[in-house]
A and B are shown apart, each in its own frame.
Chain A
């Protein structure tokens, strides 16, 4: 046993060392993780650009990538930026509500078995109602303002968080619970010390799925009645054949979703530092 003692300092020093190495080679790590997908995206854009030029495709049918960038620059302060904020707020507020409500419901359903058996099938059933159909009803119900959009985003994000959270809570090994019981843990202590931390990675993967849905929810909401937002701008640009502007909106919506996804991943790293990851995204 004593032979192990000298190993200790190096094991202890390991953490800061690797952290430093990670910081130093940030670009290389990024390149290793995403280099191929960046190259592939550039290749696709190149082919797109070439085809537009080669076949003389009119701008209103399909603009070239460079045409989109140019249009975005022109549209930025007058059209894109003023409509970006409402959509961003809808996405962030709706997502935050979904996280709180989703995790909360997963916990309640996990702790009260009868409630889970009563509600879970209904919850699944509710997912078969298309959100597109629900959106106009919510606008009629809640008014021509921010609220119905936030609710739609929250509804669309809520489901993957509840389902993943509940799965995570139920997947905790029985042996952990037996062990805790022989160590005199109450039901609440088992939940707080074993089940909830154990379910965190699942909750975060539910949040990541939800993050990719959030922007779609905002667009549906705005299509059902709005005077601002990127979804509204897409709708308003369609009759005028402002195709480049539509693509600009789509790009911004994609960036919102990716930023939210990245934010959730970052949060997971901070909250669950014990989880080892092979690679992100």
Chain B
């Protein structure tokens, strides 16, 4: 803490900040010269080609990995332990535990915080209704549809009650129709709770739709190609209205051009 290179570690308004971060695994450089900053309780999307170190970037943010050089700061926390305490991650595959019912999967974080299973269930149950999962509480994950599984997975992440949510290709495994529905749903769900959200995706449209700031990355070694700030109004608009607006299309074009 307090090092001159740290990007404003004392500033509580900073959500996630990367300062010239490099991460190498032996000879392979996964990320190099990554610098960006997002305000607390705002949403940032990371797009780039597969194998561009996007998942590494997530794990660095979450404190599951440490950078080779540079500083990763999450709400002022620069240690791995500190970042791990601030972040909850929603993995790419839903990773629901097949031996637990949907509700028992969603309560895992509360259980880990020392709450009894019964209290955790009582606390989590109302969210099932809000997330369109009512009456599926005691169904095993294998019996749920892909979209429902992702919603349970998101709820599990949310119930960790962390200020920072890290979403790793949250809808990558879904078909395009369900994907669209889930994006719209997530937009609404995120609107309810003030959280800092970092979304990693290979889908430019998804990144632009769900986040205000979009960082475009290159293939290995992953570098920041450009940072786009969306000023599109999304309040009260449907997904279709947003993604077909000329401003959105122009932003999408800019992002796609940057990737190429």
**Binary contact track B223-238/A, C-beta < 8 Å → 1, others 0:** 0000000000000000
Complex Cα spacing A90 to B181, Å:
61
List chain B residues, Cβ under 8 A from A4. 132, 145, 148
Q: Is B14 an interface residue (CB 8 A)?
A: no
Which residues of chain A have a CB within 8 Å of any CB of chain B?
A: 1-2, 4-5, 8, 11-12, 14, 173, 175-176, 178-186, 189, 193-194, 197, 272, 274-276
Chain B residue nearest in CB terms to A15: B143
User: How many whole Å from A181's CB to the nearest CB in chain B?
Assistant: 6
State which residues 121-174 of B face A: CB under 8 Å: 132, 134-136, 139-140, 142-143, 145, 148, 156-157, 160, 162, 166
Determine if A197 and B97 form an interchain contact, defined as CB atoms under 8 angstroms apart. Answer: yes
Majority SS at the chain A contact face:
helix
Determine if A186 and B112 form an interchain contact, defined as CB atoms under 8 angstroms apart. Answer: yes
A-B contact list, 17 entries, CB within 8 Å: A4-B145, A8-B135, A14-B143, A175-B92, A176-B95, A176-B97, A178-B64, A178-B89, A180-B108, A180-B112, A181-B84, A182-B62, A183-B112, A186-B112, A193-B108, A274-B98, A274-B99
Complex Cα spacing A91 to B108, Å:
40
Complex Cα spacing A197 to B162, Å:
27
With known contacts A1-B181, A176-B95, A193-B97, A182–B64 Cβ distance under 8 A: yes
**Binary contact track B176-206/A, C-beta < 8 Å → 1, others 0:** 0000010001000000000000000000000
Complex Cα spacing A102 to B135, Å:
41
List chain A residues, Cβ under 8 A from B211. none
- Nearest first, the 10 closest Cβ-Cβ pairs linking A and B are A1-B132, A183-B109, A182-B89, A274-B98, A184-B112, A185-B112, A274-B99, A197-B99, A8-B135, A183-B160
Q: Is B88 an interface residue (CB 8 A)?
A: yes
Q: Is B59 an interface residue (CB 8 A)?
A: yes
Complex Cα spacing A184 to B136, Å:
25
**Binary contact track B12-28/A, C-beta < 8 Å → 1, others 0:** 00000000000000000
Determine if B88 and A182 form an interchain contact, defined as CB atoms under 8 angstroms apart. Answer: yes
List chain A residues, Cβ under 8 A from B140. 274
Chain A residue nearest in CB terms to B83: A182
With known contacts A4-B132, A12-B139, A197-B97, A183–B88 Cβ distance under 8 A: yes
